[in-house]
Amino acid sequence: MKSIVTGGGAGIGLAIAKALARAGDDVLIVDLAGDKARDAAKILVAAGLKAEAVEADITDEQALADIVSQAGRVRRLVNNAGIFNVKPFDTLDAEDFRGMYEVNLVAMFKLCQLATRAMGEGSAIVNIASRAMLGAKEYIHYASSKAAVAGFTRSLALELAPKGITVNAVAPGVIETDMLKARPEGDLEALRGMQPGGNLGKPEDIAEAVAFLSSPKARFISGQVLVVDGGRSLGGALGG
């Protein structure tokens, strides 16, 4: 029995893979960048944990079927892989939306559909949404896709409840990752100034939330979207 983490080669995904492996899971680290997936798996194995790397494009349905086949029985599925870019509303076109939804929602749906056939009672799915689902400027296509993830999560929870499979989502706020630091608009000091506590989140903050929601301790929690943003959303639905 294995647990699957997509986008697990770096950042939040790697932190999630580590948290699940420390809880005793045998983790399949799936990433489009095969070198990152392999490096991540090596880090976990060197720490005495169980992990394997899988290089895969999650928009490829055959690749998803192969992942589930390799997993055999699936204990936990974490849909972390996704894409993001900044683009003002008046410069967007339909392809921007289609591309965002194809990765952030359609691929998630297909992997969930395949994985649930290999899941038993007590298994869990956690999808990574975003605080941007509450509304965000200059990436409406991304915010919309993550709002769709929230709706998908709640609906899937109802579908899978009779099978004893829980489905939840974690919606991160601003998390300090290499990707954030590389963004041209990623002024970290300005972002910290917008946080109630003056701190940005760490990948481990998201990983711990995922580990809990996918654990037996959360067996009576399903269909929920947990916002992990240091309280920023309490001041309004800005940013993402």
Q: Which of 115, 122, 118 is nearest to 58 (CA)?
A: 115
Would you please indicate which residues are annotated as catalytic (active-site) residues?
Answer: 142
Close Cβ partners of 159 (under 8 Å, ≥ 6 residues apart): none
Sheet of strand 74-79: strand arrangement: 50-55, 26-31, 2-6, 74-79, 119-128, 166-172, 225-228
Would you say 104 and 139 are in contact if contact means Cβ atoms under 8 Å apart?
Answer: no
User: In this structure, what token pair is assigned to residue 231?
Assistant: 């309280």
Residue at token pair 């699936």: 74
